[in-house]
Amino acid sequence: MYVDEDLLKEITKRVIEEINKKQKTDNVPSYFIENGIAHKGKNIKEVVIGVGPAFGKHIKKTINGLDHKDVIKEIIAGIEEEGMVPRIIRVLKTSDVAFIGKEAALLSGSGIGIGIQSKGTTVIHQKDLYPLSNLELFPQAPLLNLELYREIGKNAARYAKGMMVKPILIQNDYMVRPKYQVKAAIMHIKETEKILKNAQSIELTVDL
């Protein structure tokens, strides 16, 4: 198997830099308030937004520099514009966006959930689907802007209402992967460090 030694050295260097900065960033107050164990909702109008272990707490921005608070604000706005009710949880047992989305869907009163990693990768999930299946997946986080996050919220709400939904189209950019590869690896490592195996998800409120 071919290994890009220069890339490996760069990742190692950046990881060390991130570890050295870790104490500073972890001490910055989070605008997410944790409110105990998250339970399955009973409101059929509910759409649950599941965020990763480090989202808005140990990591504050997506891979392309969007503030997590702004991202959540737009997703919430999209859900509410469709007349549905947003709810936020933090998934602690995984950093995989598919499983974050699945957990959100399982705890959602409507059975529809949105999963989002700290780097911004997002999925719309449904409670009866296998974890690696989904309703819509947005894997190229660097291409996602606030307008698109709002549309993701809208589409999730439309699925929850049982509507015929037109998937969101995002143009692929094949230069994104090499450009952001190192940063994506570092963010994934940092989020994965915050996993608490077998931990229950936490109910969140956010000060918008």
pLDDT in tens, 150-194: 999 999 999 999 999 999 998 787 777 788 888 898 899 999 999
Cβ atoms of residues 201 and 89 within 8 Å? yes
Cβ atoms of residues 33 and 205 within 8 Å? yes
At position 28, the amino acid (one-letter code) is: V
Q: In the predicted model, is pLDDT for residue 8 greater than 80?
A: no
Q: In the predicted model, is pLDDT for residue 70 greater than 70?
A: yes
**Whole-number Å distance between alpha carbons of 61 and 202:** 20
Cβ atoms of residues 123 and 101 within 8 Å? yes
Residue 203's DSSP bridge partners are 89
Amino acid 2: pLDDT: 52
Q: In the predicted model, is pLDDT for residue 56 greater than 60?
A: yes
User: What does pTM read for this prediction?
Assistant: 0.88
Which residues in 141-173 are b (16+ Cβ under 10 Å) and which e? bbebbeebbbbbbbbbbbbbbeeebeeeeeeee
Q: In the predicted model, is pLDDT for residue 1 greater than 50?
A: no
Amino acid 60: pLDDT: 93
- State pLDDT tens for residues 103-138: 999 999 999 999 999 999 999 999 999 999 999 999
